[in-house]
Amino acid sequence: MKKDIYTSEQWAADGSFKAEPGQEIEETVYNELFNVLPPLPLPIETAQRALTDLNIPVHAGFLMGEPHSHDSAGALYLAFGRNNFGKGPHYFFIGLSHAAKWPTGEYYVMECMNAFVDGQLIPVSDFRDQQEAIETAANYEATLYRVKFENGRRISTETIYTPQFL
């Protein structure tokens, strides 16, 4: 059964935020929560979980900047997402999520349209060598970058391959 959109009025009546995971929320609620504290990035795993578990495609989103609670794996944050399919944006409460782990090391990043690899950090060690990474990028018509991180901070980015479009 589809829940009603969680509104600012409902939030005020509840006395605290009580939307359920997967419930659509009003844009004003989304924006207010986004602006409370500096937000954290929405982990890709959380966006994927929104699609698989809640049937909500997420184009963008955030985690609240302060933990809501903790479990055995660490701090849990309120997660929010939005999407827009040309009919206006929709905003959702996704549920609780851990923050993304800060990467350290060297990764490949492929930038392409509509591919499962778009924007994901792929450890360099996942490929036999750089040529295999280039061949994979060429198959997806993706631009390939080699990025070095140290505790989540990008140290360097090198463009390795750019597709030649006809």
Mean pLDDT (whole number) for 110-123: 68
pLDDT at 36: 87
Q: Cα 11–12–16 angle (5° rounding)? A: 60
pLDDT at 51: 92
How do beta strands 89-97 and 24-25 pair? antiparallel
Q: What is the DSSP letter of 6?
A: B
The Cβ of residue 148 has, within 10 Å, a number of other Cβ atoms equal to 16
Helices and strands (DSSP H and E) totals, the chain = 4, 10
Check whether 114 has a pLDDT greater than 70. Answer: no
How do beta strands 121-123 and 105-111 pair? antiparallel
Mean pLDDT (whole number) for 69-92: 90
Q: What is the pLDDT of residues 128-145, one digit of tens each?
A: 999 999 999 898 888 999
Please tell me the pTM assigned to this model. Answer: 0.65
Block residue for tokens 């006809």? 166
